[in-house]
Amino acid sequence: MPEPAWRALFRDRDFRNLWTVGLAVFVVRWLETLAVGVFAYAATGSAFVVAMLTMLRLLPMGLFGAFLGAAAERMDRRRALLLIVLSQMATSAVIAVLALLDAVEVWHLAVASFMNGIAWASDNPVRRAMIGQVAGPARMGVAMSLDVATSNGSRVLGPMLGGTLLAAIGLDGAFVLSVVIYLPALVGTLRLPKAPSAPAATAAPVLARIAEGLACVRQEPRLVGTLLVTLLFNLFGWPSTSMIPVIGKDSLDLGPQGVGVLASLDGLGSFCGAVTIAVLAKAGQYRAIYLGGISLYFGMLAVFAVAPDPLTAGVALMLAGIGGAGFAIMQPTLVFLATPVEMRSRVLGLLSVCIGLGPIGFLALGALAEWFGAPAATAGMGIAGLLALALTRRWWRHI
């Protein structure tokens, strides 16, 4: 009986190291997102501020994603990954020190969110491109399932840790733990072999390579459709996660620890969905998983927003997580499989740009939440996402 692909991947030392880096970064990302959201809402009472802080983690993708994708081809990716991990570690350390001195201001958290967003924008063209090289096209779907399962598993652990530490210790405890969690990522990166750039990649200017990546996308309908669906998710779906602390506190009357548990249920559903896809999904099902996943996510966001009690809200978030897992796994997988080898970093950088346009959704959601309240704004975004998906079928039907 042939060895399962997921088991063979974990026997590969390079994949294990890349997976370890991802695990650490993911846990810190969700831990800090929850901690920053709860702290900022307690300090300002503004749902708009909470949405903007989450938005700042996505903004660098839209601003720099294409440039980072092109630049990644010119660097040793191991060195690039090391710089990414060190920059995130240093940012968390600075906030930890400020928190210990009781000197943290909301603008400090805004700067930290933006800095970590730059590192997040590099993940697709650097770490995930390295995963693709290690796994190869035949195992890419399984590799992304494992990576997304890890990310979504961390969405269970991260918010729970963030909520618990905020309640028990304060913001300083959350960020000190972040620094500690980055240590395995640092070790995993140092254990990777050098990954020098291809000789051809060093010749062409960055802007010329970005233009070549855009031309590649325009000529491939599958890429156009995949990137369009990604854009819809990040305009109408992803921003709504920033409202979980607000809805949890105001509508469901939960404290920091309860909000952390509620936020973790989205991750729990995502983890279960990703593991199921890793074990059972076939290549012929990728399109259905991608489109069905985003549809389920939008629908369950609307249900969560109007849920009358924590149990209903938690079930809706779990189902949204399952849908989100299908979307998140197939997003880089479909892009990777539809892109020529020499273009992958560039097109994955453009994928980061589509993700990074999410701040438009955050601005809209933040404004709507201020005018109509977080529940109405979140429900409206979910319904608008379903409508936008239906209206753009002519472009994504080629996926």
Q: Please list the rounded mean pLDDT of every run of 10 residues in the chain (399 residues).
A: 73 91 88 81 80 77 71 78 92 91 88 87 83 81 80 69 70 85 93 66 58 78 89 87 83 80 80 80 84 94 91 91 87 83 75 76 83 90 94 87
Query: What pTM did the predictor assign?
Result: 0.71
Q: What CATH number is attached to the domain comprising 314?
A: 1.20.1250.20
- Amino acid (1-letter code) at residue 340: P
First-last CA distance in the chain: 33
pLDDT value, residue 392: 92
What 8-state DSSP symbol labels residue 197? P
309: three-class secondary structure by DSSP:
coil
pLDDT value, residue 158: 67
Name the domain count of the chain.
1
pLDDT value, residue 199: 47
- Amino acid (1-letter code) at residue 78: R
pLDDT value, residue 42: 80
DSSP sequence for 101-142:
TT---HHHHHHHHHHHHHHHHTTIIIIIHHHHHHH-GGGHHH
Q: Confirm if 375 and 202 have CB atoms less than 8 A apart.
A: no
Q: Confirm if 77 and 126 have CB atoms less than 8 A apart.
A: yes
Q: Confirm if 129 and 69 have CB atoms less than 8 A apart.
A: no
Distance between CA 314 and CA 258 in Å, rounded? 11
Distance between CA 298 and CA 385 in Å, rounded? 6
Please report, for residues 21, 71, 282, the alpha-carbon distance to residue 143 in angstroms, rounded to integers and kept in the order given.
14, 24, 13
Distance between CA 100 and CA 143 in Å, rounded? 39
194: three-class secondary structure by DSSP:
coil
Centre a 10 Å sphere on the Cβ of residue 20 and count the other Cβ atoms it contains: 17
Q: Which residue range is the domain that position 282 belongs to?
A: 5-396
pLDDT value, residue 28: 87
